[in-house]
Amino acid sequence: MTKKDLKIKELLDKEVLCRDKTNELSYDRPDPLLVASRFDDEYKILICALFGYGKASLIVKFLDSLNFDLLEQSEDIIKKELSNFYYRFQNSNDVIKIFQTFRNMKQEYSLNEIFKNTYEKENDILESLDSVIRKINEIASYESQGFKFLVSSPFKRDKSGKIKEIGNAPYKRWFMYLRWMVREDNLDLGIWKGVNKKDLILPLDTHTFNVSKRIGLLNRKTYDLKSAMEITQKLKLFDNQDPIKYDFALYRIGQEKLV
């Protein structure tokens, strides 16, 4: 590592030690993980991740308003109870549909197993995530702009069928969900089994993107999957077995304007 890399590592290691505490999650310092950490249900936690865009305080306010136990109820009850719920790009039909879809999937599928089946065959985190996104869209059999934004489309591919790094969005909310589910510390939940945390990819949001450029983790100017992959590779210099342990620290550095 260069002297510059060592300096970045020192900054981030210090922040990781400082941030790895349960009191980092509070209504004074909101994060969707504040709500997600109340559950041990992979579908409830995924709802928290997928709605995890926008201002953190408003995300938490919306998630607090939801009755996650509706995933155990009938589709008709879900439709009735959520008829007046909406969030930013999602209207009430979109909110109803995600709950109905997850309610139906819970009865038949484990998200961990869908992911792991591809992961064990291909050892590829992107292909594994793509299999989960495809399954959700298949079960939902529903199209709207709000739902498409919420769940995401499958990854774009090149002519050979390989997932493209340039041309795909960073899939921030999905990689955040994987961080929550695979890693385990005072913040992350570690509920999923059979996925190695060394393979995780940075959940790149605007805070981590801008901080990464400022401190020298990234030279690219495009907010895309390739940038997320490049920062992840850089972080592997600092901890090859757990590069995404730095994510929450990077996020807070940006959110609190520390650099």
pLDDT of residue 179: 98
Predicted confidence (pLDDT) at residue 259 exceeds the cutoff of 90? no
**Residue found by looking up tokens 């439709």 in the block:** 79
Report percent pLDDT > 70 for the chain. Answer: 100
| pLDDT higher than 90, residue 255 | no
Query: pLDDT tens digits, residue range 187-211?
Result: 999 999 999 999 999 999 988 999 9
* pLDDT for residue 254 is more than 90: no
Residue 213 has pLDDT above 90, yes or no: yes
Q: In this predicted model, what pLDDT tens digit does every residue of 155-180 receive, in sequence order? A: 999 999 999 999 999 999 999 999 99
Residue 22 vs residue 106, higher pLDDT: 106
pLDDT for residue 15 is more than 90: yes
What predicted TM-score, i.e. pTM, was given to this entire model?
0.96
> How far does Cα 174 stand from its chain's mean position?
3
Distance CA 115, CA 128 (A): 5
- Contact present, 70 and 81 (Cβ < 8 Å): yes
CA distance 210 to 217: 10
The answer to whether 42 and 178 are in contact (CB under 8 A) is: no
How does pLDDT run across 233-248, given as a tens digit for each residue?
Answer: 999 999 999 999 999 9
d(CA 105, CA 111) in angstroms, rounded, equals: 9
Q: How far apart are CA 247 and CA 240, in angstroms?
A: 14
- Residues 61-100 have pLDDT tens digits of 999 999 999 999 999 999 999 999 999 999 999 999 999 9
Average pLDDT over residues 114-131: 97
How far apart CA 88 and CA 181 sit, in angstroms, is 25
pLDDT of 53 higher than 90: yes
Task: Place 31 in a pLDDT band, splitting at 50, 70 and 90.
Answer: very high
What are the helix (H) ranges across 67-200?
Answer: 75-81, 92-106, 111-122, 125-140, 145-151, 172-182
Q: What is the mean pLDDT of the chain?
A: 96
Q: What is the pLDDT of residue 256?
A: 85
Residue 142's pLDDT band, with cuts at 50, 70 and 90, is very high
Q: How confident is residue 257, by pLDDT bands cut at 50, 70 and 90?
A: confident
Taking each helix axis from N to C end, the angle separating 225-238 and 206-215, rounded to the nearest 10 degrees, works out to: 50
Distance CA 8, CA 237 (A): 11
